[in-house]
Amino acid sequence: MNKITLIGNLTHDPETRTTSSGVTVCTFTIAVNRRFAQQGGERQTDFFRINAWRQLGETCSRYLAKGRKVAVIGELQARTYEAKDGTTRMSLDVSADEVEFLTPRGNEEGSSGYSAPRPQQTPDMGGFTDINADDLPF
């Protein structure tokens, strides 16, 4: 089974692109602190490149920004590429199956946020009348 769960903060704003076949992919990097500190008291940080595809990618590009905390569940994928100097290099990426936004509402600095539309103060009952539980015959 190939499954990884990460919780971290975005290191930069997400980048969105569309493949030649029209599929949207959103790419971002998260910084994940290790659970234990080294002997000097410093905590190490690992950086993971995340790829979110299709609708998930569109949602991530719309609501995520640098500094936001996210939880990512996905698959670890190895890829090789040729560097500018001509050498072949390997990279480990995470293909996201799920991304959960963990930054609380109101903690966004200077951004529009990702909150859902607020419900109306007086909900429309659609022709129904609100009744008291004491009025029920059963």
Nearest-angstrom CA–CA distance, 108 and 90 = 35
- What pLDDT was estimated at residue 122? 52
Quote the CA–CA distance of 12 and 61 in Å, as a whole number.
Answer: 12
Q: Which two tokens stand for residue 93?
A: 């990426």
Do the domain assignments include residue 107? Answer: no
Whole-number Å distance between alpha carbons of 43 and 26: 29
Structure confidence at residue 110 (pLDDT): 45
Classify residue 120: in a domain, yes or no.
no
What is the residue range of 26's domain?
A: 1-92
Q: What is the mean pLDDT of residues 73-94?
A: 93
Does residue 83 fall inside a structural domain?
Answer: yes
pLDDT in tens, 96-130: 999 999 988 766 554 444 444 444 455 555 666 66
Residue 43 inside a domain? The answer is yes
What percent of the chain shows pLDDT beyond 70? 78
Residue pLDDT, tens place only, 54-82 = 999 999 999 999 999 999 999 999 989 89
CATH number at residue 35: 2.40.50.140
Q: Is residue 22 part of a domain?
A: yes
Other Cβ atoms within 10 Å of 41 Cβ, number: 6
User: Would you state the pLDDT for residue 112?
Assistant: 47
Whether residue 82 lies inside any domain: the answer is yes
Total domains in the chain come to: 1
pLDDT at 14: 97
Q: Is residue 118 in a domain? A: no
pTM of the model: 0.70
pLDDT score recorded for residue 37: 81
Does a structural domain hold residue 126? no
pLDDT band for position 49 (cuts 50, 70, 90): very high
Question: In the prediction, which pLDDT does 111 show?
Answer: 46
